[in-house]
Structure 1
Amino acid sequence: MLDVSNSAERPYADGKILRRVTDGVGIITFNNPEKRNAMSLEMWEGLGHALVELRDNSDVRVVILVGAGDKAFVSGADISQFEKTRHNAEASEEYSRRSEAQRALLATYPKPTIACIRGFCLGGGMQVAMLADIRFASDNSQFGIPAAKLGIAYGYDGLRNLVSLVGPSWARLIMYTGMRLDSTEAVRIGLVDRVLPDAELWDATMEIARTISGNAPLAIQAAKITIAQVLKDESHRDMDAIKAIGTACMDSEDFREGRTAFMEKRKPRFKGR
């Protein structure tokens, strides 16, 4: 098991992905500021390694995704790699296959995830942000998917997530034009959940992360599983999974601890079992 509360920063992808743990909160940093945190294939794979380590650390109850510096969350894919990795349909399919595992990992992540967005959040950065459970943004953020300006097709999963957040009409406008949205527009249409002054963004994100970390992990897992099933077509919903996690909650030590703490008028100490 990984170190408990406060760990040193661990690098992946030649230091362009960083992972650390602070007071039970896992933090993954996209650390490519000279390219506005543009994502290379190696960074996608490093992201996957960091996510797996935080997933398997029982002391981590929530994960924050954040970009290094003040210019960008993730400004998109590293276009300088395109001639090598995405120069035609076959190469692009291989690129997608190698990065798909990391996107799938984030899409089905068992712990709550928060995207802390400052500056540019474009293209592949939007894909990462939309896969997070919660999105907080600074008031100087910009959002967009410039696929139409690059002549590439944005993937099905990314567009499904975009439509689920902003609806089909806004998804069409964003995709057809490649337009940029400021944070005011992004929060108005539901692309992000909260906009804060830039200087307050990190503290507000950490406050929410610590609040989540202090709540009962099984109850949060139940909410995450159930919401995911609600979003599926009725014919594909796993009602047995919802029932199983509900039973696990009711039979857990945490449920007994929650009741006891309430009666004793103290803060509960949840263990996730």
Structure 2
Amino acid sequence: MLDTPKTAQKSHADSKILQNVEDGVGIVVFNNPEKRNAMSLEMWEGLGNALTELRDDPAVRVVVLTGGGDKAFVSGADISQFEKTRHNAEASAEYSRRSEAQRALLANYPKPTIACIRGFCLGGGMQVAMLTDIRFAAENSQFGIPAARLGIAYGYDGLRHLVSLVGPSWARLIMYTGMRIDAAEALRIGLVDRVLPDGELWSATMDIARTIAGNAPLAIAAAKITIREVLKDPDQRDMAAIKAIGNACMDSEDFKEGRTAFMEKRKPQFKGK
């Protein structure tokens, strides 16, 4: 039997984006199972609303994104909207503009993010997954970017993330062919970080999320900021931001709590300040 997230506390985009908080973990569910969680513009905007609320909730330390049902994480963009929203270059530019803010929000998210992937993760779903910090996948997962089969360009940001994960040669193979990749292959080439049996995926993801939520938020922020800067070209790195978050850690109450808890042989209680 598949394990799944609990009932949502809040919904967006006509209940196609669900939002919940559990043990310091924010949960976002793509809830359009009839279309294998294909993303409409309304869902992109609902995703942005959910991410913003979880970002601003001090009780949330980490965010998990997953798909409703057992068939897909996100199977791509809702192609039924294309005749109206992406039928030519001008319309496509407007579509990209309306979804760009949500992609940028996820790309620059200040809290750790995890994609919990079961079933299809295609096209725009790959873009969402690649924007997260960590990707866990079920054994039944399938990955691919069918842009070449639809006659559309995937875009710079999506390809930049793809190349950073799997390298240029695999990125070319994926993009030129539109091929599907199973979970084992995705793990081998670095597209995902861990593959688990379908029935264990959610509990394993939440175990990691709770572990992250229990660690010092400033120290995690320092790691996230520094890794982000490492991936930039040397002349574009914000070394001042790295130094600032490092100083904030060393001057924080959490650093004192971490030292004290270690000496007292107890679990630390971090507050993020």
The alignment's TM-score, normalised by the length of structure 2, stands at: 0.97
Residues 8, 31 of structure 1: CA spacing in aligned structure 2 closer, same or farther, 3 A cutoff? Answer: closer
Distance apart, 1:169 and its partner CA: 0.1
SS of 1:14 mapped into structure 2: coil
Partner of 1:136: 136
1:163-214 per-position Cα deviation (integer Å, ceiling 9, x unaligned): 0000000000000000000000000000000000000000000000000000
Partner of 1:61: 61
Partner of 2:224: 224
CA contact (8 A) 1:7 1:22 kept: no
Question: Whole-Å Cα distance in 1 between the matches of residues 10 and 155 of structure 2?
Answer: 31
Partner of 2:243: 243
Partner of 1:196: 196
Distance apart, 1:7 and its partner CA: 9.1
The one-letter amino acid of 2:17's match is I
Question: Whole-Å Cα distance in 2 between the matches of residues 9 and 60 of structure 1?
Answer: 14
SS of 1:96 mapped into structure 2: helix
* Cα RMSD after superposing both structures: 0.9
Distance apart, 1:23 and its partner CA: 1.2
Partner of 2:71: 71
Question: Is the deviation greater in 6-15 or in 176-185?
Answer: 6-15
Question: Whole-Å Cα distance in 2 between the matches of residues 42 and 8 of structure 1?
Answer: 18
SS of 2:225 mapped into structure 1: helix
Question: Whole-Å Cα distance in 1 between the matches of residues 116 and 130 of structure 2?
Answer: 12
- Identity, in percent, stands at 83
Partner of 1:115: 115
Question: Whole-Å Cα distance in 2 between the matches of residues 169 and 9 of structure 1?
Answer: 43
The one-letter amino acid of 1:80's match is S
Distance apart, 1:100 and its partner CA: 0.3
Partner of 1:172: 172
Distance apart, 1:8 and its partner CA: 5.2
Partner of 2:26: 26
Question: Whole-Å Cα distance in 2 between the matches of residues 136 and 108 of structure 1?
Answer: 20
CA contact (8 A) 1:7 1:21 kept: no
Question: Whole-Å Cα distance in 1 between the matches of residues 130 and 211 of structure 2?
Answer: 21
Partner of 1:83: 83
* Structure ranking higher on relative contact order (CA contacts 8 Å, 6+ apart): 2
The one-letter amino acid of 1:238's match is D
SS of 2:152 mapped into structure 1: coil
Question: Whole-Å Cα distance in 2 between the matches of residues 16 and 8 of structure 1?
Answer: 11
Structure 1: 5+ residue stretches without partners = 1-5
Question: Whole-Å Cα distance in 1 between the matches of residues 7 and 258 of structure 2?
Answer: 29
The one-letter amino acid of 1:257's match is E
The one-letter amino acid of 1:89's match is A
1:52-89 per-position Cα deviation (integer Å, ceiling 9, x unaligned): 00000011000000000000000000000000000000
The one-letter amino acid of 1:68's match is G
Distance apart, 1:111 and its partner CA: 0.1
1:96-107 equivalent positions in 2, closer than 5 A: 96-107=96-107
The one-letter amino acid of 1:61's match is R
Question: Whole-Å Cα distance in 1 between the matches of residues 228 and 132 of structure 2?
Answer: 12
CA contact (8 A) 1:148 1:178 kept: yes
Partner of 1:256: 256
Question: Whole-Å Cα distance in 2 between the matches of residues 151 and 9 of structure 1?
Answer: 39
Partner of 1:161: 161
